[in-house]
Homo-oligomer: A and B are copies of this chain.
């Protein structure tokens, strides 16, 4: 494994590029998460579109710079929409978020099929990854098998791809008390992948940016309600300097 190839300053540069580019992201996310994910994107200057209508997603994909697919509330219509969205991805980066595959065999099977379509970035929590990995616990091995940038979010997040493994220690515990905070992160990863040609760097930049904003919000919040508002405020006001000075990208010991 190679120690991190991306510095705090690189992340700040990616963030600056994101703010300048204002990419369009089409997100098929579960209905619980749609509003918060849209507001997170708007706070960062990203233009969200969210339809999960199978008849419309190809047109929206064409007008987007990056895509994100989330498996929550996965009815037949959403499965069809996701399939068509991925069919229409072309050169566009796309992020897969296999929400709750550990609770639903149907989702787990559908996610396995999507992994075969090679998502640019796969973002999961440990329980979801355990269900998808069928016993394989090595992140680099799974990233290699699936030929993707594999991101696992927990107290310290990890990003694995090819020979690289990065760890990011940003974030705040109140994030886990706000529904859709993980789903919205997937959308932010897609937006970074639209402006950074290296999807591994994009995933790290998204985790740092999101986590630094979470820490700023956590200092101002009294609980998960005020945290939500403070988090959107922090994303909106975030400066490249704050990203650079707040980044906690850990050295990985081989």
Contacts and interface: CB of A to CB of B under 8 A. Distances in A.
A39 B232 contact: no
A117 interface: no
B53 A179 contact: no
Contacts of A236: 177, 223-225
A93 B59 CA distance: 32
A35 B78 CA distance: 18
Interface in A24-73: 30-36, 38-39, 42-43, 48-56, 59-60, 63, 72-73
A50 B76 contact: no
Contact of A103 (B52, B59, B78, B228): B59
Interface string A227-245: 0111111111100000000
Contact of A224 (B42, B59, B75): B42
A207 to B, nearest CB: 20
A123 interface: no
A62 to B, nearest CB: 9
Interface stretch (A12-20, A104-112, A129-137, A196-204): A104-112
Given A106-B56, A230-B226, A234-B223, A38 B32 contact: yes
A89 interface: no
Given A60-B103, A178-B42, A237 B223 contact: yes
Contact of A34 (B32, B38, B39, B226): B32
A237 B222 contact: yes
Contact of A35 (B60, B76, B180, B237): B180
A77 interface: yes
Contacts of A169: none
Given A63-B103, A180-B35, A233 B226 contact: yes
A55 B43 contact: no
Contacts of A142: none
A102 to B, nearest CB: 9
Interface of A: 30-36, 38-39, 42-43, 48-56, 59-60, 63, 72-78, 100, 103-107, 176-180, 221-226, 228-237
State the 7 A-B residue pairs at the shortest beta-carbon distance, nearest first. Answer: A225-B232, A223-B233, A225-B229, A38-B179, A223-B236, A53-B75, A32-B34
14 contacts: A31-B31, A32-B35, A38-B179, A39-B177, A42-B176, A43-B225, A50-B72, A51-B72, A52-B73, A53-B74, A53-B78, A75-B77, A221-B233, A229-B229
